[in-house]
Structure 1
Amino acid sequence: MKFHEKPAIYVGEVQLKVSDLEKSTRFYTEVVGLSIKDQSESKVSFTTNGKDTLLTIMEPKGVQSKKEQTTGLYHFALLLPNRADLAQVVRHFIELGVRFGSGDHLVSEALYLADLDGNGIEIYVDRDSNKWTWENGQVAMTTEPVDFESLLKEQPVSSWQGLPKNTMMGHVHLQVNNLEENERFYVDGLGFSVVNRYGTAALFISDYDYHHHIAFNTWAGRHIRHAKKTETGLAAYTIVFPSEEIRDDKIAGLKDIGVTVFEENGSFFTYDPSHTKICLIVD
């Protein structure tokens, strides 16, 4: 969990546009196991510890469901504290009859599902970072079957009470139509390091040698269009910096490559090459 606190730069809150706020709220509480932090007629924010917002969903007026693949969210990923927590999520999904995918990525073990609007969700646990394999600055990652026989031997501390309190937003994975533009924005501009080039169509980047805080891929093709503001999907997400000085330095890096950074009432934000809003905050 050291990769999601000072002095690292990491991802914080994710904001999604949904087509039915009431149904999506039930999904994220009853299925995913998040707790409501704040709620209004058009927006609900979720937490696990009662303090930090991990996810916000909103139903804008006139919002439309996507009919085709676009740039935007591939998945957001909730990081659990330990393996027994992941086993507990598996048992919970089985009990509810929830369909889910899975993958052992060497650095982590993960479950995958989608919400009611098709927004991708990963729930995962990291392996000990001392056991990750690095070679020439690249961390070894792949996708193999999860050993559920081993996983389900992990015993829960208690019955299902939702996701554990110290769950955090582990990373975001974005669907893009141009890897090079996104590498320039996130690496040359924001200063993240490339930690894995997964084939020719995916890139994983991080700070402080995490396996990835952000990833992006062109698996849906380089022809896909950018999502419209009126469509369901990713509205914005937050990048958290350890200090104002480091944030200022990264903002300067973005401006050096021609990216516009906006300021409103002391808050800073920008847009990535897929037109996704990124809020730039300080821990």
Structure 2
Amino acid sequence: MSCARCFPHSRFSRFSRLLALTALLLLALAALPAQAAEADAAKAPREGILLVAFGTSVPEAEAAFRATDKAFRAAWPDSPVVWAYTSQIIRKKLAREGRPVGGIAAGLAQLARDGVEVVRVQSLHVMAGEEFASLARAVLLDVAKHPGRFRAVYLGRPLLESRADAQDVARDVLGALAGRRQPGDALVLMGHGQEKGRADLVLEGTRSAFQTSDPLVFIATVEGSRSFDELLAELRAHKVRRVWLQPLMLVAGDHARNDLAGEEEDSWASRLKAAGFEVEANLVGLGEVPGIAERFVEHARESEDDLTREPRKE
């Protein structure tokens, strides 16, 4: 027999239980976005960096590589950073000295062993000439040889391609010399260039950006169309007396220490002295100039060129 006085209490108990269950459900639903975010983070593919340069065997020049390496490790603190040199001659020499650095295929294999799923291959070339083209071919061949090894392989562009790139680099290079170079001093930058003129137009655009910032900046190349003779004529036309020499190359390696500032009579420094100029050599590779390594980091971050996928059709 039921008691009428018990009904209100029974209804109240059921109502309390319903409220408690509703609160628990709401708490569980509130936790779902955080759990989903944690799950997404756990599923995020691991990235790795492959830095590709021609290479150097000059110990003093490696400061530029160390600065670049530091910038990339700071930008990707949880990712492996692996180096590759494209010059087989330099790789063999370093191996004999007990300082081995692998090539592109070896670097990609190392990142695969490290459990990397997304690779950012960053060219450390100054301009997209023959060396950059060889790099791109080598990466494509390796991707084709090992299909499915990585989810994505992004290729970062060289330092100088756009007008903004040239303006940024000009600002960095000129800023690094501020306080040392006096008014009226010329700055001569030695680029590498290429025998058949590849990247000449990028070089001319870079030259224009520098001279817009400072008319006493001149660029010539070891190879390519901008010769030393043209440089000498420009310096004479501007009636400068003192010339600063600096490489427009990632490292101050063999070209900088011999062709640019060497004591041999055919070096640029010797020829300029013979022509009556005062000469100061600033043997600093671009990689050592504050801000330049961060330009490469930006190019790596911005790259959407996934070499594992077919190009999109227009």
Q: TM-score, normalised by structure 1?
A: 0.29
More strand by share: 1
Which structure's relative contact order is higher, taking Cα pairs within 8 Å and 6+ residues apart? 1
More helix by share: 2
Q: TM-score, normalised by structure 2?
A: 0.27
Q: Say which one has the larger Rg.
A: 2
